[in-house]
DNA sequence: GTATCCACTTACCAAATGGTAGACAGATTG
DNA sequence: CAATCTGTCTACCATTTGGTAAGTGGATAC
């Protein structure tokens, strides 16, 4: 009963770290102390295991982001809360970001499901940003570009480990906090029109001229 | 004589697109209309082919960035020129970004060479930014965080194709230009302290208070 | 003209990979 | 107790994969 979940978890870690193609069922099984056939018994085929991993990861991701967004107020505080939650998630469960990246690399048809699951929440985020801009709570920008850039910074922070190494930068909690502060001050400047030096704490709600 | 280069080019494309593990020598050979053994004749083993691809890609990347940085003036214009060149490179030769990402995923020992080749130019960039900050040309920030964030946005724009799809955003030349403008206005805010709406063109040199 | 070298091929091979078939042990059910 | 179902294992299998060995045809050297 427990085995299926253990396989799913291990597969998520392995797929995120070494990629789908770099992970054989035998590898996976050995790492779990079981045989490959047990995996096939639970999931039928490697393809379906991959689908299960992608789908569950997407749902986990969406779960965190959706609840965070709903719990916050409106305008800038939402942006701040989502960025904060994203960084926390990225540090606590980097596999999820890794899987998302792997999904992008696999492309269709693998990505179909994930993209469809992600689309509504991204559309919500886009609409929210756009309405805040209409209300003058945020400066006008292409919300999709804001979302993409933000995602890229969060994802890059955890997945581009070798670039981090080349920069002599370890992604510990301190570095993650710095990164988050920097991203927030970028966004603050783009969305609120007030620039920070990166050392200042993010301010609360601000009203921007349209 | 020409074959070796053709193999190298095709391997670069394939490794960037489907990953090292997702690309077999037979695949590669068939795509080139030759046999696998011809590839092995020129490169000895798959490992050495991979090394060759990684190394040449890193050098190509460095070549573009280094000449761009040297051709510019000092302070903000350098940042602007490098970002511009990076985006142009990312659109014109996305494989190079793909290979860099793949390098990160492979990790050591594969990444060793690339990281060592990249380190000096990144160190230069860091030093340059730091000195501009010391001179008051740019606002004080952690240069490494600036570099990482900028790289993440550029790389994410070309490699996170499925996130783009989920956002209903195609990365054509127009979108790339928008992205670039957004990144530049982020950086402008962080480094010059003047925020734009994302629609304004980047301004020229500005002097910032320390 | 023969020897040599270069670029490439055909013919194999051993290991790894995803997958099938069937057996076995333990719990559940009648 | 017999029957069945569940989860796991052992035993195979076909294909793919990276790699070796042994040529082959053409250009160049002497």
Mark whether B16 and B118 lie in a shared domain: no
CA of B27 to C1' of D16 (A): 11
Mark whether B143 and B167 lie in a shared domain: yes
Which residues of B fall within a CB distance of 8 Å from A160? 101, 104, 148, 151-152, 155
Q: What is the CATH number of the domain that holds A67?
A: 1.10.357.10
CA of B37 to C1' of C2 (A): 29
**Number of domains composing chain B:** 2
In a domain, B4, yes or no: yes
Q: Do A157 and B148 touch (CB under 8 A)?
A: yes
Judged against a pLDDT cut of 70, whether residue A197 lies above it is answered with no
Mark whether B25 and B75 lie in a shared domain: no
Average pLDDT (A107-124) is: 93
> Residues whose CB falls within 7 A of nucleic chain C?
A 23-27, 36-37, 40, 44-47; B 1-4, 34-35, 37-38, 41-42
pTM for this one? 0.85
The Cα–Cα gap between B135 and B133 comes to: 5
The Cα–Cα gap between B136 and B207 comes to: 7
Mark whether B25 and B74 lie in a shared domain: no
The Cα–Cα gap between A32 and A6 comes to: 8
Mark whether B123 and B155 lie in a shared domain: yes
Q: How far apart are the first and last CA of chain A?
A: 57
Look at residue A198 in the predicted model and tell me its pLDDT.
40
In a domain, B197, yes or no: no
For residue A202, what are the contacts with CB-CB under 8 A and spacing of at least 6?
Answer: A80, A181, A184, A185, A188, A196
Residue B35, domain extent = 1-44
pLDDT tens-digit series, residues B9-68: 999 999 999 999 999 999 999 999 999 999 999 999 999 999 999 999 999 999 998 898
In a domain, A167, yes or no: yes
In a domain, B206, yes or no: no
Q: Which residue has the tokens 């691809």?
A: B53
Ranges under pLDDT 50 in chain B: 196-210
Look at residue A1 in the predicted model and tell me its pLDDT.
63
The Cα–Cα gap between B5 and B25 comes to: 15
Mark whether B182 and B97 lie in a shared domain: yes
Q: What is the CATH number of the domain that holds B38?
A: 1.10.10.60
Mark whether B87 and B136 lie in a shared domain: yes
Mark whether B126 and B185 lie in a shared domain: yes
Mark whether B144 and B186 lie in a shared domain: yes
Asked if B58 contacts B117 with a C-beta cutoff of 8 angstroms, the reply is yes
In a domain, B167, yes or no: yes
In a domain, A129, yes or no: yes
């Amino acid at each position: 009963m427990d085995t299926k979940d253990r396989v799913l978890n291990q597969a998520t870690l392995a797929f995120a770290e070494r990629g789908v193609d770099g992970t054989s069922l035998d590898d996976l099984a050995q790492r779990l102390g079981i045989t490959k056939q047990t995996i096939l018994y639970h999931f039928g085929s490697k393809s379906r295991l991959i689908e299960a991993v992608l789908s569950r990861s997407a749902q986990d991701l969406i779960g965190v982001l959706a609840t965070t967004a709903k719990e916050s107020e409106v305008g800038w505080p939402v942006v701040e809360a989502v960025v904060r939650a994203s960084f926390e998630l990225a540090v606590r469960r980097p596999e999820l970001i890794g899987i998302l990246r792997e999904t992008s690399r696999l492309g269709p048809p693998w990505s179909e499901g994930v993209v469809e699951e992600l689309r509504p929440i991204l559309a919500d985020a886009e609409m929210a940003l756009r309405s805040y801009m209409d209300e003058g709570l945020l400066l006008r920008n292409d919300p999709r570009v804001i979302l993409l850039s933000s995602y890229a910074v969060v994802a890059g922070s955890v997945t581009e480990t070798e670039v981090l190494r080349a920069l002599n930068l370890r992604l510990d909690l301190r570095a993650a906090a710095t990164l988050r502060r920097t991203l927030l001050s970028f966004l603050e400047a783009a969305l609120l029109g007030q620039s920070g030096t990166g050392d200042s704490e993010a301010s609360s709600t601000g009203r921007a001229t349209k």
